[in-house]
Amino acid sequence: MATVLYTIAIILGLIIIYVIISSFRLKKAVTNLTQEEFIKGYRKAQLIDVREAKEFESGHILGARNIPFSQLRYRYKEIRPDLPVYLYCQNMTRSSRAALFLKKKGYNQIYQLQGGFKTWTGKIKTKN
């Protein structure tokens, strides 16, 4: 019984360490912006929606370009590394992962919409 508890404690400890390291890596890779801060800068940057095409077509921030996270590994060169990159997805999960990927590829000016598209109250465009 003690061995099982010891194993569980080690696994939980490793999970906690992983979460802490991941959050530090994310903080170094991307700057979270409120909607107001995001609006101030995204028109002078590359606005990338990393949601899937169907999500994008159902509604996206005006001026956004769709590069789904599932395709980012193959399409990241469509994003210029010398200009700021503004990312968003539905709730920050995919945009966070996209930011980490782009950071590894040498991108340095990476920003993401805090709360994701689900919290967006600005102008949107739908495909109709």
What residues act catalytically?
89
> C-alpha angle with apex 69: 120 to 91, nearest 5 degrees?
30
- Give me the phi and psi of 23, to 5 degrees please: -70, -35
Residue 58 has which token pair?
Answer: 């159902």
Residue 85 near residue 2 (C-beta atoms within 8 A): no
Structure tokens at 92: 């920050």
Distance CA 40, CA 2 (A): 56
Query: CA torsion 125→115→97→68, rounded to 10°?
Result: -10
